[in-house]
Amino acid sequence: MRPSQADKDNEEAAVLELGAWLRTQLKEDLPQEIVPDRFVLKKRLSEASVPFLLSSESRTKPHMQYQKLNKLLKSYFGADLLLIPVEEQEWLILVGEGQLEDLRQVSEESREAERAMLGDLGQGVYELIANEWVGNFHISVAQPVIPEQSLVEVTELLRETLILGKMFHVSEQIHLPWNFYLERLVYSIPDKQRKQFMARTDIAMGIFNDPETLSTLETFFLLDCNVSETAKRLYIHRNTLLYRMDKIKQETGLDVRSFKDAVLVKLTLLLYKVTKRK
């Protein structure tokens, strides 16, 4: 049976109330982790859900409206979904873990497989929304949680993931927390220490200003320093890639084909991105 207009209005009022509480807690130094009993939606929050955070950066395009976005998402996921407005043009999406169970039936059960499935879900949500709204928006997704117990914590994690994604992976729109362990560490270093490291390093920072060199390094690191796969991804001959690496070595004194040197260049690149954004 389709929900009545009264049911829809009641759900919207309930998520708005929950969103207001969530906004308040996100601003607190010691937030209240457990959702209070007074909320109508508390029972639904006691079941495992896959959390997404959707953030739109469009300033001039028409804004996404709650009713339209909620209807669109439920057409994709079904009724087992809560759309919680957090800030203007920022929504927390909670999808019943059953969506993941359907995918698990056709895939091997492992942490890597589950993370790949979550990435696929994020991609599906992105494409769904991109077909309806024109503008720049980003999505982060985390592993299933019990929202009643960790609503604030998971929202903070997803927010941080979006910040890191937009800073370090500027060409991507879907961001996953487990892809940012090193970036999270670099981002947590105080600004003064970051600048001191940058000032003392012997690496010529100018190489990161060259789009070709930057693309080569990022692709090489993304593909686990595999020369053959990097050449394929960049659509260049293997010898061309080796020439570029020799050029990087000549300018920096570091050979990214060496693990030790690759780690140093990777860390310096991440620090450069943070410092540049500052």
Two structure tokens written together for 137: 């928006």
- Kind and range of the H or E run holding 90: strand 90-96
Residue 57: predicted pLDDT? 79
16 and 118 fall within a common domain:
yes
List alpha helices for the chain, DSSP H: 5-26, 66-77, 98-104, 111-130, 147-168, 181-188, 191-200, 211-222, 227-234, 238-252, 259-277
Domain end point (choices 183, 215, 241): 183
Domains: count for the chain? 2
List the CATH number of the domain containing 94: 3.30.70.270
CA-CA-CA-CA torsion sign (41, 42, 43, 49): positive
Domain end point (choices 151, 183, 215): 183
For the chain, what's the residue count? 278
Could you identify the residue written with the tokens 């909670």?
94
176 and 195 fall within a common domain:
no
98 and 28 fall within a common domain:
yes
27 and 141 fall within a common domain:
yes
* Residue type at 186 in one-letter notation: V
Q: What is the pLDDT of residues 247-267, one digit of tens each?
A: 999 988 899 999 999 999 998
125 and 86 fall within a common domain:
yes
Q: What is the pLDDT of residues 5-43, one digit of tens each?
A: 555 668 889 999 999 999 999 998 888 889 999 999 999
CB 79 within 8 Å of CB 170 = no
pLDDT-based confidence at 205, cuts 50/70/90? confident
Domain end point (choices 155, 183, 211): 183
Residue 115 sits in which domain range?
Answer: 5-183
Residue from 35, 45, 17 nearest 152 by CA: 35
pLDDT-based confidence at 115, cuts 50/70/90? confident
199: helix, strand or coil: helix
List the CATH number of the domain containing 268: 1.10.10.2840
156 and 20 fall within a common domain:
yes
| Distance of alpha carbon 71 from alpha carbon 8, whole angstroms | 10
Q: What is the mean pLDDT of residues 63-84?
A: 88
151 and 218 fall within a common domain:
no
Q: What is the DSSP string of 29-56?
A: SS---SPPTT-GGGTGGGS-EEEEEEEE
CB 176 within 8 Å of CB 115 = yes
121 and 32 fall within a common domain:
yes
Local structure of residue 134 (DSSP, 8 states): -
